[in-house]
Amino acid sequence: MARTIMMAPHAPHRMTAKPPPTPHPHGKPPPAAAHRPAPRRAHHGALAAVLAIALVLAGGGLWYWLGGRVATVDPGEQLQSQMEAAAKGEAVPTHAFGGALSVSSANGRTNIIAEGVPSRACVQVGWRLARAGTIIVNGVLPTRLSAARLSELCSGDAATLIWVPDE
């Protein structure tokens, strides 16, 4: 059963009957709150922004508290300067990478021995110190020094680098 009713100025609409309400399975109608949508929480974005700002401020405070400057010292350069200082007679018991740094004499020449040097630093420091003396890596004295040969000799986790400075 449908009726058509004319409503001005719109086109005609059909009126349809609503379906009868379905009975609740337990005989009681559901509470009114069950049909309401959950309340929206509009403050999630603001909370995230506040937390982000707090983290940035905490990081800045920590940076300032720890000295406020960026570490620009390369450990390889630090090892090289420590070995040069040891050659001049300064006592440096451990080097920048935490290994032992010792000085010995053999055949009237001073030997500076750095133990536990990482591969990359071994190549870097060995190449620089070779200009001012002789380099021995893991007990091997290379007859012809090249970056490739140094890389081969320094391979591994902890190399022993011996420098015999020219006097």
Measured from the Cβ of residue 20, the count of other Cβ atoms closer than 10 Å reads 6
What is the distance between the alpha carbons of residues 133 and 126, in angstroms, rounded to a whole number? 10
* Phi, psi (rounded to 5 degrees) for 94: -130, 150
Tell me what pLDDT residue 10 has: 57
- What string of pLDDT tens digits covers the 167 residues of the chain? 566 655 555 555 566 666 666 666 666 655 555 556 666 656 677 888 888 999 999 888 887 777 766 556 778 888 888 888 888 888 888 888 888 899 988 888 889 999 999 988 899 999 999 988 999 999 998 888 888 899 999 888 889 999 999 87
What is the distance between the alpha carbons of residues 113 and 110, in angstroms, rounded to a whole number? 10
Task: Name the DSSP class of 99.
Answer: -
Residue linked to tokens 């929206």? 40
